[in-house]
Amino acid sequence: MRFRFQTMLSVILAVAPPAFAAATDPARQGWLNAADFGASGSTFETEAATAAGSRQITVADPGDFRIGQGATLAGGHVRHNTPKLWSGGPAYANSKPLNKSVEVRGYDGSRGRRLVYLLDIAPSDKPAFRWTDDLGRSWHEAGEITHDWQSLGNGVEVKLNQRDWNKGYVVSFVVSDQLATTIEKIDGRVVTLRDPPNLTTDKAMLRHCDDRALCAAVEAAVKQKRNLWIPAGRYRLDRRVLVRDAGGITIEGENAATTLLDISEGEGPCLVLAGGKEVTIRNLSMVGFMGFDCRDQAGRIPTRGAEAIWGFFLNLCNGVTIGGTERVLIENCHASRMSGECFVSACPGRGITPPSSPLVPTLRAGTHSPQRSALHEPAQSVGNNGFPRGAWEPGGTDGDSSADEDYSLVWKVNPRGGHTVSTTYLRCSVTDSARNAFNDVTCGPENTNVLQCRIVDVGGCTWEGASRFVRFVGNYVRNAGTVAIGNLGFANRDASFDTLGSGQHIVADNTFEGGVCYGGCAVRACAGATQVIVKNNNFVNYNSSGVEMLSQTGDQHFPSSNTTIAGNIFDMTCAGNKSTPRTAIKITTSDTIVADNQIYVRGRRDPAVAGIRVHEPAQNVIVHDNLIRNCGEGFAAGRLASAVAEVVDETTFIRSANWRHIGLPLIRDDSHGYRAWNIVWLKNDMPDGVSVIESFNRSTRRFKLRESRDMKPGDVFEVYPPAGANWNIHDNIIIECLKSAVLDCYGGPTTVFSNNQITRGETPGAARGVYISGRWKLIGNRFHGFDEPDAAAMALFPDRFGNASANLYRNNIFERCGRVVCESRPGLWQAAVAEGNLFIDCKAIPPREEHALSPADK
């Protein structure tokens, strides 16, 4: 018996793990254990005394620290990243070489572990700067640049050396009081570090830091083709954990509730997936340092010296960055307090545009993707060629020795670059975060699935995607930003775009509650997205706009089109104290179907709510079988304006890119090219002449008129097609709205409003059913209950030019209406064709005579 015991003991000792190893989960035999590589997951910390230049520190309690483990020393060391410099130029492509023109020193640690500074230098013959240490919430004037050391508070000083500061610049840098290092020796209370701190203090704090251990564990798992198990614990990170070129790996936490990657005192992503075949991440939570209450600091910061400065780019943390891994599954992972996109992906697409192509402007490291849509959401922080910063990119280097602590690496666009063909986020969540929840930066990733996820209190987009074949299905969203679809500027589309398109999305079976805090609506497609389906979603107590399909374009975008919005239920009731103006469905895209939706307000009618709005110059639009109830406005048709940016000659102009005047989409060269379309020039919002378009050149953005016109920059205009827009608004029920339908557009022979049920119900003050201005055909509609004093089922107005429209009113049924028709001036009913209409229990049946409007209509 004694022999057997000694034998067993010998076997146990022979296979004993290293001193800081943990027991392997029996259910995961064959997996590597992160603890075997020194990952502690420990929250233990202890006070420490340091001497500048000495690697030996004295701690109050060595606790569970072990030799070889990573650690951070907070309060005993000052470090600065290399400052970054921006100036004027194209937005997101305005990074400038530093050339040793900025020096930084000092920091007393009084403002926490990390502090971001921004210096704003306006163009001036006597350059001066202001500075902020809270990402733009407050600014301090520092006076003229002296080329000597100037104080910025908190013990920090900056020296701006000689250069062309008069042109205007923005400088940013980060100061920190942390030293990321490794424990080399423990002798009682004396701990020897790999790196010496540079301050003398007795108030430093030594903490565990597990990023290097986790990186080593991941690297071993990839090499050995084994999976990685992370025991429960809080794993503090100073920088990202890199998963590079994995042939197939699963990284799994013990459970998401107690297995946490904590980058709250670090920088960059928690996890970076770089290239490789297949990666699965499960059961992890991740936490950063910027919550929902910091969303203003993570957003765009107005500056005088440069454009497109985003706070999250200056102070980045996020959950997972994917760079070209072929297949990715992220399941039951949860991120919070992230400054940037919590889950983000980018890679080359099927058609890779060489960097020398004019379609891809050259970007320097540390810039943003250029040419973002004015209608869309902020760009994510990117490195070369538009790849998100904080990621390893195929063809790059590790960057562990980066002198400026910039954790992004170079993405080389080449035919062998990684291409993500499938990404699935399953049962994940993003909460209490400053910017976006989920993001595909370029059109490269394909088949991204966001499934059964929870997004709450997110200060940026719920989803932002320029990619292909996306499914956003079964999710719950509250107090977050827009599901933003498209954003396909030159820098985030590739050579396959002309034939394959991009932005194809299915947004289905989701619940949106309460409203958005950013972006203006729950779901938006714009800037090049095509084949977009929004179906079977629930909107609960929604105090923001619902769905917008927009064709308006900036200079570098194509319009969105081919969209369907069907089967959604919009409860637009305001459950709070203040109702905001909002629209359930807004359409400016061509080739669009809106069908089978319910839109309503519970309780008291809300005049701030509009049901469905469609705007010219959209073409080929069908709106049918929708139920709209108790809104301020049921259905409305309108117009979008544009403006002249540049006059080339007496017949040629370039359209403005100002977001207020981009109603005329810049369509593709293989389209109708606006040939024979009409331009209505406006002055003080009234027609001031009409021109006809001869042609449009997409590459030069030039519109050419058939005849000359005296034009100038800023001239405003509207457009409409010669044969009508092909609108069919039919078989809808619109009841108990203050204005059931407002048909105010140019219209034409193919603009039809038919077989709709328009009912006043018990709505007080609904004096008119349908307002008509422009050319329409009203066929087979049923009007009921407009019987209040001075009420009328239809109110007629002249068209945009002040003329009576040759409209058609056929086979409509009017029942229990005080008056059937009223006119803003005599002769409007007389000019129309009216036949086969039926009048039941109506007090005033319209003969061919004048009907005066009440004062409220004039």
pLDDT at site 418: 78
Angle, CA of 58, 63 and 66, to the nearest 5°: 85
Q: Is the pLDDT of residue 850 over 70?
A: no
pLDDT confidence of residue 702: 87
Confidence bin at 765 (pLDDT 50/70/90): confident
Q: Rounded to 10 degrees, what is the CA torsion of 331, 337, 341, 343?
A: -10
> Which of the four pLDDT bands, split at 50, 70 and 90, describes residue 145?
very high
Residues 664 and 734 in one domain: no
Closest of 593, 516, 521, 525 to residue 557, by C-alpha: 525
| Strand bridging mode 813-815 / 782-784 | parallel
Max alpha carbon distance in the chain (Å)? 119
- Letter for the amino acid at 509? D
pLDDT reading at 660 higher than 80? no
Q: For residue 73, list its beta bridge partners.
A: 179, 206
Residue 855: is the preceding peptide bond cis (ω within 30°)? no
Within 10 A of 570 (CB to CB), how many other CB atoms are there? 30
Comparing 53-67, 473-487, 751-765, which segment has the lowest mean pLDDT?
Answer: 751-765
Residues contacting 3, CB < 8 A, separation 6+: none
Range 278-283 average pLDDT: 97
Identify whether 764 is part of a domain.
Answer: yes
Answer whether residue 671 is part of any domain.
yes
What share of the chain has pLDDT > 70, as a percent?
A: 86
Selection from 332, 250, 327, 248 nearest residue 286 by Cα: 332
Beta strands (DSSP E) in 617-677 are 621-624, 627-629, 631-639, 642-649, 652-655
Under a CB-based contact definition with an 8 Å cutoff, are residues 159 and 102 in contact?
A: yes
Domain assignment present for residue 656? The answer is yes
**709 and 731 inside one domain:** no
Both 814 and 705 in one domain: the answer is: no
The 3-class secondary structure across 718-775, one letter per residue, is: EEECCCCCCEEEECCEEECCCEEEEEEEEEEEEEEEECCEEECCCCCCCCEEEEEEEE
Kindly tell me if the per-residue pLDDT of 790 is higher than 90. Answer: no
Confidence class for position 349, pLDDT limits 50, 70, 90:
confident
- Whether 652 and 688 share a structural domain: yes
pLDDT-above-90 percentage for the chain: 64
pLDDT tens-digit map of 705-735:
999 999 999 999 999 998 889 999 999 999 9
Torsion of CA 114, 273, 464, 81, to 10 degrees: 20
Are residues 836 and 748 located together in one domain of the fold?
yes
Rounded Cα distance between 751 and 766, Å, is 25
Structure confidence at residue 98 as a pLDDT band (50, 70, 90): confident
Question: The whole model's pTM is what?
Answer: 0.87
Indicate whether 104 belongs to any domain. Answer: no
Q: What is the pLDDT of residues 229-249, one digit of tens each?
A: 999 999 999 999 999 999 999
pLDDT band at 408 (very low <50, low <70, confident <90, very high): very low
Token pair for residue 442? 């370029």
* Count of structural domains within the chain: 2
CA-based nearest residue to 664, from 651, 682, 650, 649: 682
Domain, as residue range, for 848: 727-857
* In a shared domain, residues 731 and 689: no
Question: What tokens appear for 308 in the block?
Answer: 């497109």
**Among 720, 754, 771, which residue terminates a domain?**
720
Same domain assignment for residues 787 and 843: yes
In this structure, the answer to whether residues 803 and 701 fall within a common structural domain is no
671 and 792 both lie in a single domain = no
Q: Would you say residue 716 lies in a domain?
A: yes
Residues 740 and 850 in one domain: yes
Encoded amino acid at 621, one letter:
V
Last residue of a domain, one of 686, 720, 754: 720
Rounded distance, CA 600 to CA 736, Å? 10
749 and 707 part of one domain:
no
Closest-CA residue to 836 (of 816, 808, 796)? 808
Q: Which residues contact 370 (CB under 8 A, 6 or more apart)?
A: 90, 91, 92, 93, 361, 363, 489, 490, 491, 556
Domain finish residue from 689, 720, 751: 720
pLDDT over threshold 50, residue 389: no
- 665 inside domain: yes
CA distance 66 to 35: 12
Instruction: Indicate whether 102 belongs to any domain.
Output: no
Tokens of 585: 């469905």
At 701, the amino acid letter reads: R
Q: Which helix (H) or strand (E) holds 3?
A: helix 2-14
Measured distance CA(119)–CA(305) in Å, rounded: 9
pLDDT of residue 818: 85
Structure tokens, 781: 């509609």
Q: Band of the pLDDT at 767, cuts 50, 70, 90?
A: confident
Domain check: are 766 and 808 in the same one? Answer: yes
pLDDT value of residue 353: 45
pLDDT for residue 5:
38
In a domain, 812, yes or no: yes
Q: 10 Å Cβ neighbour count for 639? A: 17
Confirm if 379 and 372 have CB atoms less than 8 A apart.
Answer: yes
Burial (CB count <10 Å: 0-12, 13-18, 19+), residue 1: exposed
pLDDT band of 499, cuts 50, 70, 90: confident
